[in-house]
Amino acid sequence: MALLIITIAVSTGVIGFAYVYFAPSTIPAPSAFFGQGGPRLVNWDPRFQTAATKSGADNASAYWHPRTYGGGSSDSYVSGGTLHVRENDLSSTGWDNYDNAVAQEGNFPWQTECRHILGAVPDWACTRNSYGLRTLAWIGANTTLSVNATFLSREGMGDFNIIIGLYFYFVNGPLRANGVSAVYLEAQVRLAFYKTNAGLMPVGTEDTWNPGFDFGYAKTVGTLQPANSMVLKNYDLHSFYLSAMTKRGLDPSTPAIIVGLEPGVEGWGENLAVDFTGLTIISYESNRATADPDFDMVVNQNDAALVSSLMGTCPSDYGRYEWIADINSTNPCIDQVDLARVESFEGQSFQSLCIIQHLPTAEGVVAEQDRLLSGPRESPIEGQERS
């Protein structure tokens, strides 16, 4: 159930505002073995508090890694509690020479850090920033997305998307469908999807594509237009994942974790300016689910050995630090608290968790999210600017 509120004000500044609120749901029955817990933040720096520019080495980006692709003079940067994305290239003529302006956090199938091979399994020590993600989030658990976006301006006659990109990794190996074999699902929650020959696409529109190294999927959840703002609250990412897998002809019960996030804009023949002032992914999985960094769905000595082998590493140890071994994300460094968390669940599997429980009330969820977001600001690491 979703609540949509739209207001119009004839004055200077923002003239339109949309608030889309999705009431918290119950844990879906097929994935109840992930258990009930949380809420816990999946991504670092949800309020874009740490400044970052698109120039700088990956290990100089503590949380969000701004990036652009294509020609023109596009830009992406984090400042003043806002992610600013600017796509500027009226000369591009189609999706074969598209542009984007985004920020990235986590691991991606196309990245080249540490000699990563296109479409290969993630190199957990070489994320697109220094911290990786904050929590090992299994998509089988109840997981929600909230985001604020303001569409400042548009000039152009092409196609564009305003996106929250989510990258899922299939932990049990590659899947195959329609001639594609991959270990990633590259999916987009689209706040707007505009086609030059059809205009704004309606809410609920699904789209698929094949990059060649993963499965591509998108669903339109809004029709954000210039001079308008949009707040998306508690969007159900578990249901989104099921829709994506079904649309792509893949088994929707396939276990997967969230490994990468990518808010921003993309398109061709467009100058776009969009600001994001908040992006929060919350997981309600159990502590038991986070205590399995080797992804075999059993907490055992292998998990303890992995954490032990990385003991004492921190995000500043780029190339060695593996964020999946950070079981207790209160402190991003891997320490005895992480090992103790694994040992407390040793010998237990996710399948033994079979009770379906309700999430807290809507008011309780909002209050707890606010509490998490208002906690101490994470300290950025020091690093060199990227060329």
Burial class (CB in 10 A: 0-12, 13-18, 19+), 151: buried
Q: CA 122, CA 106: separation in Å to the nearest integer?
A: 10
Confidence tier at 19 by pLDDT (50, 70, 90): confident
- Angle at Cα 343 formed by Cα 341 and Cα 348, nearest 5°? 100
Average pLDDT over residues 50-76: 93
Q: What CATH number does the domain located at 2-290 have?
A: 2.60.120.180
pTM above 0.75, yes or no: yes
Residues 6+ apart with CB under 8 A from 325: 124, 293, 306, 307, 310, 334, 338
Confidence tier at 23 by pLDDT (50, 70, 90): low
Confidence tier at 351 by pLDDT (50, 70, 90): low
Q: What pLDDT does 384 receive? A: 27
**Bridge partner residues of 79 (DSSP):** 82
pLDDT of residue 352 exceeding 50: no
Q: Are 326 and 332 in contact (CB under 8 A)?
A: yes
pLDDT one-digit tens code per residue, 71-114: 999 999 999 999 999 999 999 999 999 999 999 999 999 999 99
> Would you list the domain boundaries of the chain?
2-290
pLDDT of residue 43 exceeding 60: yes
Residues 6+ apart with CB under 8 A from 356: 26, 27, 29, 32
Confidence tier at 382 by pLDDT (50, 70, 90): very low
pLDDT one-digit tens code per residue, 181-235: 999 999 999 999 999 999 999 999 999 999 999 999 999 999 999 999 999 999 9
Among 52-56, 264-268, 279-283, name the one with the lowest average pLDDT: 52-56
Confidence tier at 4 by pLDDT (50, 70, 90): low
Average pLDDT over residues 269-278: 97
pLDDT of residue 10 exceeding 90: no
Q: Are 359 and 26 in contact (CB under 8 A)?
A: yes
Residues 6+ apart with CB under 8 A from 58: 65, 113, 126, 127, 128, 129, 130, 318, 386
Q: Which residue has the higher pLDDT, 266 or 55?
A: 266
Q: What pLDDT does 57 receive? A: 85
Q: Is 142 helix (H, G, I), strand (E, B) or coil?
A: coil
Q: What pLDDT does 211 receive? A: 92
Q: Is 47 helix (H, G, I), strand (E, B) or coil?
A: coil
pLDDT of residue 354 exceeding 50: no
Residues 6+ apart with CB under 8 A from 96: none
Q: CA 249, CA 127: separation in Å to the nearest integer?
A: 29
Q: Please give the distance of CA 42 from its chain centroid, rounded to a whole number.
A: 8
Among 27-31, 119-123, 318-322, 350-354, name the one with the lowest average pLDDT: 27-31
Element containing residue 308 per DSSP (H, E) = helix 301-309
pLDDT of residue 355 exceeding 70: no
Q: Which DSSP state fits 298?
A: B
Q: Please give the distance of CA 181 from its chain centroid, rounded to a whole number.
A: 22
pLDDT of residue 374 exceeding 80: no
Residue 363 CA: distances (Å) to CA of 54, 209, 235, 367: 37, 38, 15, 6
Q: Are 280 and 232 in contact (CB under 8 A)?
A: no
